[in-house]
Amino acid sequence: MSATTNDIARKLNISNATVSRALNDRPGVSNELRQKVINVANELGFAPNMAARSLVTARTQTIGFVIRSFDQPFSSDPFYFPMLTAIELELVLHDYHVMLDTSGSDNVSHLRMVKQNRVDGLILAGPNLNLQFVTSICNSGLPTVLIDNKLKHTKANTILTDDKGGALDATQHLLQHGHRAVAHIGGPLEWVSSRQRYAGYCEAMQGVGLNQQMQSIHTEATTIATGEAATMALLTGPNPPTAIFAANDAMAVGAMRAVSTQGLSLPNDLALVGFDNIDLADHITPSLTTIRIFKEQIGQLAARRIIDLIADTTSAPVETIVSTELVIRRSCGCS
Amino acid sequence: MSATTNDIARKLNISNATVSRALNDRPGVSNELRQKVINVANELGFAPNMAARSLVTARTQTIGFVIRSFDQPFSSDPFYFPMLTAIELELVLHDYHVMLDTSGSDNVSHLRMVKQNRVDGLILAGPNLNLQFVTSICNSGLPTVLIDNKLKHTKANTILTDDKGGALDATQHLLQHGHRAVAHIGGPLEWVSSRQRYAGYCEAMQGVGLNQQMQSIHTEATTIATGEAATMALLTGPNPPTAIFAANDAMAVGAMRAVSTQGLSLPNDLALVGFDNIDLADHITPSLTTIRIFKEQIGQLAARRIIDLIADTTSAPVETIVSTELVIRRSCGCS
DNA sequence: TTGAAAGCGCTAACAC
DNA sequence: GTGTTAGCGCTTTCAA
């Protein structure tokens, strides 16, 4: 088994308290002795037993990352994974580890990693988590950061994408192409992101007085399938649009399928802009004009916020909004 | 803070030893008292403090999942994530948690989660890990399961895809379409999967006496970019193939780009089969014929194996090979 | 069937 | 500066 502080202490004929002080950069150890301790520790390949340390410090140096396993990110649209990677990369710098939870529990007190005191804080990802669950966590006092989610009546630390701004850019770009019948397809309005993207769409349309031409469909998920269905409904409806702003790239891909099924072609018969900038956006035909989300940066910010929060639990909740970027390709009609 | 065994003991005027026995289904407690303990525990929302338990049992109920952060799975080809999800889902059933490590350390003794006794076992994913690193872990005695990797001189518990069988199916399918100049593009031959897929390709070609027509390019990664470059080289080379078996779907997408750049069209000028069955395979044009990998099942098997291994550390290493499935779409020329 | 006591490895308060 | 002591919350002997 691995070496303990006692092994080091015995070897140097000192107390393990001194070993602990030396190794943790605490005052009250002569430089000479401290160096000796460090040397022996290295020799023995010493690393503190986390269980023992946690037991006394009540700190685990672990952050829980919670996401619903049935969220699309885990399949066709790996949305939260670059974030997760970025989070881990940042947390490692601060000596923290990440523990995963995809169980989709509806209650904090059912979150095993919390009950068992396994984590110092939580990052909750995605809008698809049970509202009461999120609220109860945020009120529990455990340092918590939300990604892509927001509570109505509870202040929380949250990292958001500038969904409204991105949607505004996307829609305005379509308008600049001369389109008037610009429709929107998106996710459930219970999600902050869906609401904001819809708001951006509305603002753009109303900005040029197209209140009458507004037309949008909100489906229960934002997948290829729902995008296809929604687009089909629009194309076969009474006022088929000439352009569509899709709330994410998966739906945009679905829209492409619908267009193709209808015997139409992109971008001539229909212009299309997505949201996300998934890696494949550049590799489908026609390549997809979309709004880039800075996933890695969002992950990094979430990690930093949770660390700050652990250091100072009393700090006021902060809402961080990360901007977006319009990535112009072919599906919008640009050449 | 959360309740402890002492809280329960005090409330019932018994010792915390009895509480522990009652809650852990150990013999030596009357049914009556056990039930009382359980009731009080529920009332108080008790959950054992993992640090305390770990300290005495030397078990953490945590499995480390190790992967290199720069592996493609984390970006365009979310290969290992469905696996990770499946692993978590399975481990939860056995009261285990998953801790992530993407640091890409080159040495076990540098793996913090191991040094600090944070994990009971390790799942190492991907062929891209440092060989010495993997070997040293497998020899360290810590229960370990490899996914998509294999050691030459060290026996290990490993879960593999039937890469050779899948490649055989893919290549034979192209041959059945009447193609003779069937080329292969794949990853580095240091990877087990690349070697096996290449072997399957060779076996298929040699099986119909096409040793002379064999032509393959192995790139340092299996991405859209390398697939495009390799295909470009083949198409502009002395013997342009009429069909290509790509070692994964990302490379196949790259191949499509090269074909398009060359002014050719799929599947008429070139037939194509990939490997993976990523979600988008069905949504690109033409839809991609490919070999399906059962990622969720692989994850589940890895999780089960690591649990068995923890229960019986002496059990002999097992190599598990999960079969594949040919998914026929349009890129191969089928209609 | 139950309790008392020891101890896992570490940190922190208090002596000296 | 350094050692002694206690204790974090739990499990596990050993007694009774």
Domain ranges of chain B: 5-57, 62-161+295-324, 163-292
pLDDT at A129: 80
CATH homologous superfamily of domain A5-57?
lambda repressor-like DNA-binding domains (1.10.260.40)
pLDDT digits (tens, 9 = 90+) for B11-45: 999 999 999 999 999 888 889 999 999 999 999 99
User: Under a CB-based contact definition with an 8 Å cutoff, are residues B287 and B274 in contact?
Assistant: no
- Contacts of residue A311, defined as CB under 8 A and 6 or more positions apart, other chains included, come to none
Please state, in angstroms and rounded to a whole number, the distance separating the CA atoms of residues A163 and B176.
Answer: 50
Residue nearest to nucleotide D11 (CA to C1'): B56
Judged by C1' against the alpha carbon of A28, the nearest nucleotide is D1
Q: Which of B277, B66, B83 is nearest to B169 (CA)?
A: B277
C-beta atoms of A88 and B69 within 8 A: yes
| Higher pLDDT, residue B64 or B137 | B64
Q: CA A132 to CA A124: how far, in whole Å?
A: 13
Please tell me the predicted confidence (pLDDT) of residue A187. Answer: 94
For residue A58, say whether its CB is under 7 Å from any atom of strand C. Answer: no
Same fold, B62-161+295-324 and B163-292: yes
**Predicted pLDDT of residue A268:** 95
> Buried b vs exposed e over B73-84: b needs ≥16 C-beta within 10 Å?
bbbbbbbbbbbb
Which residues of chain A have a pLDDT value below 50?
72-76
Q: Which chain A residues contact residue B78 at CB under 8 A?
A: 74-75, 78, 81
Could you tell me the two tokens for A203?
């603002």
Task: Report the DSSP pairing between strands B121-125 and A157-161.
Answer: unpaired
Instruction: Give A98's strand partners.
Output: A63, B100
Main-chain dihedrals φ then ψ at residue B271, nearest 5 degrees: -95, 150
Q: pLDDT value at position A167? A: 98
- How many angstroms separate the Cα of B295 from the Cα of each of A79, B87, B277? 18, 10, 10
Order across the sheet with B121-125: list the strands: A319-322, A157-161, A144-147, A121-125, A62-66, A97-101, B97-101, B62-66, B121-125, B144-147, B157-161, B319-322
Across residues B50-57, what is the average pLDDT? 96
Task: State in words which class domain A62-161+295-324 has.
Answer: alpha beta
The identity of residue A202, as a single letter, is C
**Probe site for chain A from B66, B102, B260 (most A CB atoms < 10 A):** B102
Task: Provide the pLDDT for residue A73.
Answer: 38
Q: What is the mean pLDDT of chain B?
A: 92
Strand partners, A160: A321
Strand partners, A125: A147
Q: Range with the lowest mean pLDDT among B42-56, B93-107, B234-248?
A: B93-107
Q: What is the per-residue pLDDT for A105?
A: 63
Nucleotides of D under 7 A from a protein CB: 1-5, 7-13
pTM over 0.85: yes
Instruction: Give the residue from B5, B10, B130, B117 showing the smallest Cα distance to B62.
Output: B117
CATH 1.25.10.10 assigned to domain A163-292? The reply is no
> What tokens does B209 get?
């006496």
CB–CB of A82/A297 below 8 Å? no
Residue B73 has pLDDT above 50, yes or no: no
Backbone angles phi, psi at A329, to 5 degrees: -130, -135
Q: Is the CB of B28 under 7 A from strand C?
A: yes
Whole-angstrom Cα distance, residue B226 to residue B228?
A: 5
Evaluate whether A175 touches A218 at the Cβ level (below 8 Å): no
E strands, A148-280, where?
A: 157-161, 182-186, 215-218, 243-246, 271-273
User: SS3 helix, strand, coil % of chain A, rounded to 5?
Assistant: 45, 15, 40
Tens digit of each residue's pLDDT (9 = 90 or more) over A3-24 = 999 999 999 999 999 999 999 9
CA of A38 to C1' of D1 (A): 17
Q: How far apart are CA B249 and CA B290, in angstroms?
A: 7
For residue B221, which of B191, B264, B198 has the smallest C-alpha distance?
Answer: B191
